[in-house]
Amino acid sequence: MIPDGGEQPLPVEAAGIVFCGGAAVHPSRFGQELDPNIKKAVDEARDTMEWALMTQALERQLPILGICRGFQFINVYLGGTLTQNLSAEGWLDDHRPDGSRDFLTHWVVASGGRLEGVYGNQPFLVNSIHRQGIRTLAPSLTATVMTQDGLVEGYEDREKKILAVQWHPEELISVASHQALFSAWLR
């Protein structure tokens, strides 16, 4: 752990990095003011720390995995934007920002890339514990998993070795395909 958002070099032995779930990415990182209706805290110190770690991971060409907040953070780092409150903007699928981590809430479909190789091309259920979502996908990323209402829930960048999902596969580890995601990430 790195206290107070300070910059810390990635260990020399690091074979990859996971940006996991947590507090929302501060909207100033993608050109917006903080929505006063958002209950969940932002963590600017974490944003700063992860920004530095992402820079190092890209410089070293390490495999990068994003989960939930990490999925959102990587998109913002690479130049994409987020919507701060999916339900306020009319998204139809049930994203349950305050829901149980092991409750499967909505269907997604993988199409193309490594994520289709992991999950197949048939709809599958995921848990969903997020309020923010991708508004604009960063130019270098390719959307490879979508909800039925068109929200990006998975993307990749083969050149930069990035794989990211909006849901929490670590909470569904008893499901073989979610286990397989972690193996696919390091390949």
Check if 168 is active-site. Answer: yes
Q: What confidence category does residue 1 fall into, taking pLDDT thresholds of 50, 70 and 90?
A: very low
The residue annotated as part of the active site, out of 68, 130, 153, 156, is 68
For residues 1 and 60, which has the higher predicted lDDT (pLDDT)? Answer: 60
- In this model, does residue 93 exceed pLDDT 60? no
The residue annotated as part of the active site, out of 130, 168, 171, 178, is 168
Note the maximum CA span of the chain. 45
| pTM metric for this prediction | 0.90
Check if 170 is active-site. Answer: yes
Q: Which of 166, 155, 163 is nearest to 105 (CA)?
A: 166
The residue annotated as part of the active site, out of 20, 44, 116, 170, is 170
Model confidence pLDDT, tens digit, residues 129-171: 777 899 999 999 999 999 988 999 999 998 999 999 999 999 8
Domains with residue ranges and CATH for the chain: 13-186 (3.40.50.880)
Check if 106 is active-site. Answer: no
C-alpha gyration radius of the chain: 16
How would you write the chain as a 3-class SS string?
Answer: CCHHHCCCCCCCCCCCEEECCCCECCHHHHCCCCCCCCCCCECHHHHHHHHHHHHHHHHCCCCEEEECHHHHHHHHHCCCEEECCCHHHCCCCCCCCCCCCCCEEEEEEECCHHHHHHHCCCCEEEECCCCCEEEECCCCCEEEEEECCCCEEEEEECCCCEEEECCCHHHHCCCHHHHHHHHHHHC
The per-residue pLDDT for 115 is 96
d(CA 33, CA 12): 37
The per-residue pLDDT for 76 is 98
Instruction: Tell me how far the alpha carbon of residue 126 is from its chain's centroid.
Output: 13
Could you give the angle at the alpha carbon of 128 between the alpha carbons of 125 and 131, nearest 5°? 150
